[in-house]
Structure 1
Amino acid sequence: MPKFNAAVEILAAPPIPTVFSWGKSYDGRNGPMIDLSQAVPGYPAHPEMLRLLGDCAASSAYTGYGPIEGDARLREVYGAHLADVYGAALGAENVHITAGCNQAFTCAAITVAGAGDTVLMSDPYYFNQETTLAMLGVKVRLAPCNPDNGFLPDLATLEAAIKPDVRALALVSPNNPTGAVYPPELLSAIFDLCRARGIWLILDETYRDFLPEAGQRPHDLFNKPDWQETLIGLYSFSKSFCIPGHRLGAITAGAAVVDQIAKVMDNVQICPPRSAQAAVADALPILAEWREQNRMEIALRATALKETMEGLNGWSIGALGAYFAFIRHPFAERTSAEVAERLAKETGILCLPGSYFGPGQERYLRFAFANADSDTIRLLRDRLQRISSTS
């Protein structure tokens, strides 16, 4: 039999199906399954969003190839939206549309790093980004984040990890898996470090629209002089519009970076999905109030989780913010995968083991709390108490 690509063969199986398989053994003894595994919006897409998707999908106008960088109209609308969000001079020339944020990261990574180069990541990290780099032959160096500091990156740790082989630092804020929101002043200091050391900062802001405070500007990096020579921003429309199946994301970067990424995208997908682009271009301005209501709802769910976990038999919150919480479990003698499997099979709680997000995370589980409403989240307390009492 011919050989497989060794860089792919050595990877573990995709994690989400593994967790779902554990859930198939749950017998329903504690009530319905509570799915806190894959980050899926816990409410439906707006009816107008669905109408727009249907109309655009049925139109022959979007059945042909489009521009590699994305349709001009969405690039213009999203560029104007970026200018408003960040208070910066951003426009269509700074936007490259992609088929989801995972693809955005892949294209950005290929653009700035090649086989044998190194990309610096935090520990914990978002697993799809780490495995993407591994498949590309790009080395990964990890900078541990201290749980006592809410899993925020440490500037001195990052600086010490930037060796001559490092081409980029990849960060996610609000963070996946911890939910931690990186303060603007921390991001500013990290940007300055990357600029001084001549490396790229790839900043994934998939969960930007779920910041805990209304009207909060995530950072001022796009207002820094010559930001185009250091920063590459990533975003996903999936969570904000509840359309993950339509795979639509975006890269924000300098025009020169957009030109380079187009070379990659032309060999990956030629152009992003066109009907979804047209629908989102219409939806972005008209569904702003609906998205704000969803942000407030996610904040309520975060509060419900804080209240639920308080004083809970050795369980504690390591970090909590936009969409996710990193939960410390009380079973020091067990791996995070063993704990997550027991939760799925015995209590009907689906969550991800901390080990999926880095080598130092065995004491943690990722709860995608935004998947469930507040009443469902409060059911966790009894189920977690039960497994604590039987271990």
Structure 2
Amino acid sequence: MTLPLNPAMAATFPPPVMEARRWLQGATFPPDRPLINVSQAAPVESPPLGLRQALAEAALNDPQAHLYGPVLGMPALRAEIAAQWSLAYGGSIAPEQVAITQGCNQAFTAVMSTLAGAGDAVILPTPWYFNHKMWLDMQGVTTTPLATGPGLIPDADQTAALITPATKAIVLVSPNNPGGVEYPAETLLAFLTLARAHGIALIVDETYRDFDSRTGAPHALFTDPDWTDTLIHLYSFSKAYRLTGHRVGAVVASTGRLAEVEKFLDTVAICPSQLGQIGALWGMRNLAQWVAGERAEILARRTAMHSGFHALPDWRLLGCGAYFAYVEHPFAMDSDVLAKRLVQEAGLLMLPGTMFQPAGSAEGKRQLRIAFANVDAAGIGQLFARLAALRL
């Protein structure tokens, strides 16, 4: 007998990063050409020593580190985010408008669970972050694709025509995953105005805000005195503080919205990890200079990616920033086929654009995402040497 399966779960696709890892099964990589893995946007090194010592100290000596905590997170961390975000964005954010989650994916699922259900619709620009699409599929929510064109920047005027009575939210990721592009402040403001006019939510995922190439605030949305009626902001501590395994994210939204988010979080996790929150708080209070150094290194690698593709005229760099380069390849095959061949023939693991676009998308078949953040200058040089040598 076969047990029942939720058809909404069956309708979505397998986790893309896990699927890509399966391409490595049976593959061998000689010592002079080791695998270059640019498939996942996650730090591979441990947090800095001071943060690890803070975690160890808490694990050994703070009994509260091993107990349930508040569903919406540690008050001190909520207050720190509110204070630092208010300063960074030039707006007014209160601690009670901040919730802590088990990573930013959970932040998205928690917020979306309060906004949309089966039969509703949510607008996602393409190429999209695949986990956003997967969650909407699992909930029976229709994903409305918003094409962004060659510059990968969504257009609010174009989006207006996609809004229907079923539409509950627009989701923007900036700096973008997978595209790497940084949305201009005026673009984000136009989307806030559009969403407010239609009575729907604007969700802005700023997981990669710490690696934005621009100085100053990336937008002025929090300076709007009525931002809580439309805007929901998401963040992750995984990237800037290397806390991927500790799962710490955040939601900034109205207190009324967070009261609904609390229902979801209490049901799925009860509370965020205490140790993860301790690490995040310590990082926010002590690692500003270190994070600035990390940002500088990522921006240097971004420059190297631009230079490398400039020397590969048959490739087209569509977007580059934060952790990602999003490119159009020159080969006469679909990107999902090409990505598998790159493992065998070049020792490169990257994700095809078919994982970031609607099924059958012609654009997705021409595109690849390169998560370059974990590759140093020498590795980036080797990456381009291998791409230049390809004869497929």
Q: How many residues align?
A: 385
Correspondence for 2:333:
334
- Counterpart of 1:48 in structure 2 is 50
Contact between 1:56 and 1:276, CA under 8 Å: does it hold in 2? no
Q: Which moved more, 1:113-122 or 1:310-319?
A: 310-319
Equivalent residues of 2:13, 2:134 under 8 A apart? no
Question: Equivalent residue of 1:358, what SS?
Answer: coil
**Once superposed, what is the RMSD of the aligned Cα atoms?**
1.3
| DSSP 3-state at the match of 1:238 | coil
Unaligned runs of 5+ in 1: none
Which whole-Å CA distance do the structure 2 matches of 1:318 and 1:282 have between them? Answer: 37
CA contact (8 A) 2:39 2:350 kept: yes
Name the structure 2 match of 1:288.
Answer: 288
Partner Cα separation in structure 2 for residue 263 and residue 21 of structure 1: 36
TM-score, normalising length from structure 1?
0.96
Q: Which amino acid aligns with 2:300?
A: L
Q: Quick one: which of 24, 38, 41 aligns to 1:39?
A: 41
Alignment correspondent of 2:22: 21
Deviation at 1:43, TM superposition (A): 4.3
SS of residue paired to 1:306:
helix
Identity %: 40
Listed as ranges, the matches of 1:1-391 within 5 Å are 1-29=2-30, 31-41=33-43, 43-58=45-60, 59-147=62-150, 150-213=151-214, 215-312=215-312, 314-331=314-331, 333-359=332-358, 360=361, 361-387=364-390, 390-391=391-392
Cα distance in 1 for partners of 2:227, 2:46 equals 37
TM-superposed CA distance for 1:313, in Å, is 5.1
Q: More displaced, 226-235 or 73-82?
A: 73-82
1:336 Cα deviation from its structure 2 partner: 0.9
Q: Structure 1 residues 26, 127: closer, same or farther in 2, change over 3 A?
A: same
After TM superposition, give the deviation of residue 57 of structure 1 in Å.
Answer: 2.6
Per mean C-alpha deviation after superposition, the further-off stretch among 231-240 and 51-60 is 51-60
Answer with 346-355 or 13-22: which moved more. 13-22
Deviations 1:192-243 (A, max 9, x none): 0110111100111000000013x32111101113110100000000001011
Residues in 2 aligned to 1:5 and 1:43: alpha-carbon distance in whole angstroms: 38
Residue 120 of structure 1 and its aligned partner are, at CA, apart by: 0.8
Q: Is the CA contact 1:70–1:96 (under 8 Å) kept in the aligned structure 2?
A: yes
CA distance in 2, matches of 1:375, 1:159: 45
Q: Alpha-carbon deviation of 1:25?
A: 4.1
Aligned to 1:241, the other structure's residue is in SS state: coil
Q: Distance in 1 between matches of 2:223 and 2:279?
A: 30
Q: Structure 2: how far apart are the matches of 1:193 and 1:210?
A: 27
Amino acid in structure 2 at the alignment position of 1:348: G
The Cα shift of 1:284 comes to 0.6
Contact 1:56 1:279 in 2 (8 A): no
Give, in angstroms, the shift of residue 24 of structure 1: 3.7
Cα offset, 1:42, TM superposition: 5.2
Q: In the TM superposition, what whole-angstrom CA distance separates every residue of 1:60-95 from its partner, at most 9, and x where no partner exists?
A: 222221111101111111111111211111121110
Return the alpha-carbon distance in structure 2 between the equivalents of residues 216 and 336 of structure 1: 37
Does 365-374 or 102-111 show the bigger shift? 365-374
Question: Residue 90 of structure 1: SS of its match in structure 2?
Answer: coil
Contact 1:168 1:201 in 2 (8 A): yes
SS of 2:107's partner is helix
Read off the aligned partner of 1:321 and give its amino acid letter: G
**Equivalent AA in structure 1 for residue 83 of structure 2:** A
TM-superposed CA distance for 1:247, in Å, is 0.5
Confirm or deny: 8 A CA contact 2:91 2:222 kept in the other structure.
Answer: yes
8 A Cα contact 2:176 2:182, kept in partner: yes
Residue 26 of structure 1, CA deviation: 3.7
Conserved? CA contact 2:11–2:137, under 8 Å: no
- The letter of the residue matching 2:343 is A
